[in-house]
Structure 1
Amino acid sequence: MTDKHTFVNEGRDRAADRRSPQAHRGWTGLLAHRWPTALGVAVAALTVFDLRGGTELAALTMLMSVVYLGAAALDRRRFAWVVLLAGVAVLAFVPTSSEVALSVGFLAAALVFFVVGAARGGLRKPGGLALQSVGVLAFGSIVLAALYVDPDLGGFLVAFALLGHAAWDVFHYARDKVVARSYAEWCAVVDLLAGAAVLFVLFTT
């Protein structure tokens, strides 16, 4: 009886040993394939840490739409990551407490991208420069309005813009155009989680 019990336990151990590498490879493969989602969750967590009302995310929300315009202007999908990193560097290292100044600065960058894209004939491309310009105007208007109204209302406007941009990301991810799919996936996760976090803070404080 003891020998039989030992044999069964050894069989289970061997089966577990065989499953462990497979499980490890499964998680590794998942992270390798869905790294934009994992990165988006991490960035969103850092972004909403110590969130106070939502309007402090106004400039970031503006940047998200400018990234699309920059990629469309040069017709380089992976250029979205370059614009994002440049914008994040500005957010991180420019010493200013004014979301208005940063948002207006990103709008100025959007104007430059529009001029460059138009000179390259981007307005003739369906779903490219023209659509992204409309996106910047729409999301930019909401963000700027959020900075000039009551802080609570401004927070709701920023949350609305973030969630709306998450839908924008999903649309472009499905179409697989304008920006790299990895960027659209990452941005959708950040927008969705950040927008939800803003609403949570507004409804619970």
Structure 2
Amino acid sequence: MSTATPELAGNRLLRLWPAAAGIAFGAFIAYDLASGADLAPVLTASGLVYLGAAALKRPRAAWPVFWVAFVVIGAAGFTPWEDATTWVLLGFAAAFALYGLVRGATRPFEEFPLQSLAMVGFGAASVAVLLIGGAAAAYIVAAGLLAHAAWDLWHRRSGRVVVRSMTEFCLFLDVIAAVAMVVVAVNG
């Protein structure tokens, strides 16, 4: 017989919302996936969210940066410039990098400097996806998203840069999207 009160059980369930939201977003992304290039903006956004929070020196800023990236990615589908979404997000990343440098956010290394390096890696992978295309692009996206999932785990443990809810949300989103990308590549 459980001694937990309904309030405690409710609090435990409430703490699961980031995982549930990550699973829902991952499923949403996987639903209409056609190619590796489809997820290049998602891979770019994964680095952008962390870089933005680090440049602003506010872990809670990760969520507003995520929502801006989400709106950019979503709105791009209604424009003739959908293929430019990754470039737009890379522009935002460059603006955050410049802001972080001007603001002097160079210490500690695990925050802005490390996030900048990670953004270069995720951004380069996204550009490679756009240039290569095909099944190879799908595998690059999947590898990038799985690398970002490991990044999420490291940040969840360290408690740095972004709020824990973002790390948990991203972890599930990244893994589900990566698996979906591999399935699309294998069956495509």
What TM-score, normalized by structure 1, do the two folds share?
0.84
Q: Which moved more, 1:144-153 or 1:95-104?
A: 95-104
For residue 98 of structure 1, report the CA deviation from its aligned partner: 5.0
Query: Is 1:122 the counterpart of 2:96 in the alignment?
Result: no
Q: Secondary structure at the match of 2:58?
A: coil
Indicate the residue corresponding to 1:188 in structure 2: 171
Query: Is 1:73 the counterpart of 2:59 in the alignment?
Result: no
Relative to 1, partners in 2 of residues 1:150 and 1:102: Cα closer, same or farther, differing over 3 Å? closer
Sequence identity, in percent?
Answer: 34
For residue 125 of structure 1, report the CA deviation from its aligned partner: 2.2
For residue 23 of structure 1, report the CA deviation from its aligned partner: 9.7
The aligned runs of 1:35-46 (5 Å cut-off) are 35-46=17-28
- 2:95 maps to a residue whose letter is V
Indicate the residue corresponding to 2:122 in structure 1: 139
Q: Secondary structure at the match of 1:78?
A: helix
Structure scoring higher RCO (CA < 8 A, sep ≥ 6) equals 2
Q: CA RMSD in A?
A: 2.1
- 1:148 maps to a residue whose letter is L
For residue 97 of structure 1, report the CA deviation from its aligned partner: 5.7
Q: Distance in 2 between matches of 1:97 and 1:169?
A: 33
Larger radius of gyration: 1
What TM-score, normalized by structure 2, do the two folds share?
0.91
Q: Distance in 1 between matches of 2:173 and 2:86?
A: 18
Which one of the candidate residues 174, 181, 192 is aligned to 2:157?
174
For residue 53 of structure 1, report the CA deviation from its aligned partner: 2.3
- Which ranges of structure 2 fall in alignment gaps of 5 or more residues? none
For residue 158 of structure 1, report the CA deviation from its aligned partner: 0.8
Deviations 1:109-137 (A, max 9, x none): 11111111112211132211110110010
Q: Distance in 2 between matches of 1:204 and 1:31?
A: 36
Deviations 1:141-163 (A, max 9, x none): 11110111141111111111111
Check whether the contact 2:37–2:133 (CA below 8 A) recurs between aligned residues.
no
For residue 99 of structure 1, report the CA deviation from its aligned partner: 5.5
For residue 29 of structure 1, report the CA deviation from its aligned partner: 3.8
Check whether the contact 1:63–1:106 (CA below 8 A) recurs between aligned residues.
yes
Deviations 1:89-109 (A, max 9, x none): 111123336554111111111
May I ask how many residue pairs the two structures share in their alignment?
187
Deviations 1:136-192 (A, max 9, x none): 100111111011114111111111111111111111111000000100110011001
